[in-house]
Amino acid sequence: GAGVSQSPRYKVAKRGQDVALRCDPISGHVSLFWYQQALGQGPEFLTYFQNEAQLDKSGLPSDRFFAERPEGSVSTLKIQRTQQEDSAVYLCASSLGGQGYSNQPQHFGDGTRLSIL
């Protein structure tokens, strides 16, 4: 059984470039989350999808960050005009239930380590 798959594992970009990070959740999982993890810190919430609907994007740090999940499966997190402070590990997680199922565990992918030079 495949887990949450993220690509690329590592991404190096120059400041000002746009990047796109991909997440392929566990098949059948309704909920998909994106988190940002800085070195030595716990993950911080960015955005949440229930199927194709983006129900919460309150954690996105600026309007340079954009996420989509057009068919309710694969999701892409896009960062435009990258800045050095965007350097972090970006984690994707999925869970079986939708909103209101806070007891459903979230399963994480291995993340994308983004470095902005």
Partner 1 sequence: QKEVEQNSGPLSVPEGAIASLNCTYSDRVSQSFFWYRQYSGKSPELIMSIYSNGDKEDGRFTAQLNKASQYVSLLIRDSQPSDSATYLCAVSEETSGSRLTFGEGTQLTVNP
What does the block give as tokens for 4?
């949450």
Q: What is the DSSP letter of 96?
A: S
What does the block give as tokens for 59?
């954690």
CB of 16 vs partner 1, minimal distance in Å: 27
* C-beta closer to partner 1: residue 80 or 104: 104
CB of 98 vs partner 1, minimal distance in Å: 8
CA distance 82 to 84: 7
Q: What is the DSSP letter of 34?
A: E
CB of 103 vs partner 1, minimal distance in Å: 5
* C-beta closer to partner 1: residue 62 or 99: 99
CB of 117 vs partner 1, minimal distance in Å: 20
Q: Residue 14 corresponds to which amino acid?
A: K
Beta-ladder partners of 91: 35
Name the residues that contact partner 1, by CB under 8 A.
4, 31, 33, 35, 40-45, 48, 50, 55-56, 59, 91, 93, 95, 97, 99-111
* C-beta closer to partner 1: residue 82 or 95: 95
Degrees, nearest 5: CA angle 104-86-36? 10
